[in-house]
Structure 1
Amino acid sequence: MHAADQMTVPAWVQAGSMDTLLEIFRDEINLAVWQRPLATSVERFSDALLQCGGQLAESHTLDVITDDSGNCAVRMPRLAGAMSHLEGYADFVADVAHLVDAFACLVDAQIIGLRLRSLEQAMCPRWHVDHVPVRLVTSYAGPGSEWLAEGQLPREHLGGPGIDRYARHVHGQALGVGEVALLKGERWQGNTGRGLIHRSPGVRQGERRLLLTLDWLK
């Protein structure tokens, strides 16, 4: 865990336990990372999916059902159905469903936005913040999202071309394959001006990513 000298400065936490994601509720934390290895079957499926070529770009709005005991569940769509013949497909879908359920329960969501896509280039190449409460991000294959500690870039230029002249002098940290991150955005209560600064990684020629993001819509 890294913590800034002053509690008012956004900081991050990372560890090998899923419970690490709970740290996102601390005021000073704007990034919580669960450092986990992917199951071998999930990793092989993800790699095989990308090797098949073609574009995967799925977006789903998921309703969360909460029973009288407070348990929540999400009815999952059929993800990447065209690839269901590949070995490890069931394990991959089960892994995504596990993350969706965990995210829904963690933030007490009623509606979640799910995006699953293959990428051959950086989707958001400039350093920026998200204008959402919190977003779950994980790369099943290919390079992971990059992020910066607080104070490395001036926030007033984020997302625009003006940030480019500053960005040459900073070096971000990157999420590993399979790691699950909660990125606190500008719309988290009390977090205006403190959203995590991050960007999509560069993708080398012939390289691809398989990216999952979950958004708390309501």
Structure 2
Amino acid sequence: MTNAVDLGEFAAPRPEPGSSTRLVTELADLAEIASPEVSVCVLRRRADTGVEGFVRAWLLPEPRSEALLVDPGAPDLAALAAGAPRSTGREAFLHDVRGLISLFADLTGCPRVGVRLARLARPMCPRLHADMVTLRLVTTYVGPGTEWAEHADVRRDRLGHRASGVPDEVSGVLRAGARLRRMDPFDVGLLKGEAWPGNQDRGAVHRSPPGTSPRVVLTLDALA
């Protein structure tokens, strides 16, 4: 995995009291996601120019969606770069994905990882919601990143379909004065779901960013 973390540029602020978010700059600190009060943990990363160049040249131009089930010890990721000639950028991209899979497996202890790589031209999940998963990793290689809200800032009875199709901006799902936060490209986000033991009604509340800017997004899910 690309390990370009500049502590001077990305110094992680101290979390506010009661915050459900942790912003970190060290790989080891992603383990904070296991804390009961934490639902979102984000590792800040500097963009890798080789990886970004490959993604823009080969993955961004056309819609695509690849879903794989892999052994984290020896993941076969060829399908993620199908059709692309061998290059340093291609190898750097696959190396980054392998590193994320290894990291995710170490954090979760899962024997299998669900991998999804998608090029999206519109928001896949446009409304704030929480997923019925244990833990999901998300990183956006190109385009705006995933948005999320603090646990205390949300009315959960108005999440997703409970808002009856009313947009988040007018549904009242966000409490007065609340603001959404957004991951930057190459950030590694861990989103704790409703299926995490003891986490019912505390799953990470998030959504795809609005607009039609194309994005290339990788997600990983822990599978038994």
Q: TM-score, normalised by structure 2?
A: 0.84
Q: How many percent of aligned residue pairs carry the same amino acid?
A: 34
Alignment of 1:101 onto 2:95 = no
Aligned to 1:217: 223
Given the alignment, which residue of 168, 189, 204 partners 1:196?
204
Aligned to 2:45: 36
Gaps of 5+ in 1: 65-72
Cα pair 1:127 1:199 within 8 Å, conserved: yes
- Mapped partners of 1:48, 1:176: distance in 2: 20
Q: 1:59-81: CA deviations, max 9, x gaps?
A: 001124xxxxxxxx132231221
Cα pair 2:77 2:94 within 8 Å, conserved: no
TM-superposed CA distance for 1:171, in Å, is: 2.9
Given the alignment, which residue of 12, 15, 18 partners 1:2?
15
TM-superposed CA distance for 1:82, in Å, is: 1.6
Alignment partner of 2:130: what SS?
coil
Aligned to 1:186: 194
Q: Could you list the runs of 4 or more consecutive aligned residues of structure 1 that deviate by over 4 angstroms after TM superposition?
A: 167-170
Aligned to 1:166: 172
Alignment of 1:19 onto 2:25 = no
Report the AA paired with residue 160 of structure 2: G
TM-superposed CA distance for 1:48, in Å, is: 1.6
Report the AA paired with residue 34 of structure 2: F
Q: 1:82-131: CA deviations, max 9, x gaps?
A: 22356611100110011001111111011110000100000000000010
Cα pair 1:148 1:173 within 8 Å, conserved: yes
TM-superposed CA distance for 1:18, in Å, is: 1.3
Report the AA paired with residue 184 of structure 1: K
- Mapped partners of 1:191, 1:86: distance in 2: 43
- Structure 1 residues 189, 97: CA separation in 2 closer, same or farther (over 3 Å shift)? same
- Mapped partners of 1:99, 1:44: distance in 2: 19
Cα RMSD for the two superposed structures = 1.8
Q: TM-score, normalised by structure 1?
A: 0.86
Alignment partner of 2:160: what SS?
coil
TM-superposed CA distance for 1:15, in Å, is: 1.9
- Mapped partners of 1:48, 1:85: distance in 2: 13
1:125-136, aligned counterparts within 5 Å? 125-136=126-137
Aligned to 2:118: 117
TM-superposed CA distance for 1:144, in Å, is: 0.1
TM-superposed CA distance for 1:27, in Å, is: 1.2
Q: What is the number of residues matched between the two proteins?
A: 203
Given the alignment, which residue of 48, 59, 67 partners 1:59?
67
Q: 1:124-165: CA deviations, max 9, x gaps?
A: 000000100000000000000000012222101211234632
Report the AA paired with residue 182 of structure 2: A
Alignment partner of 1:29: what SS?
coil
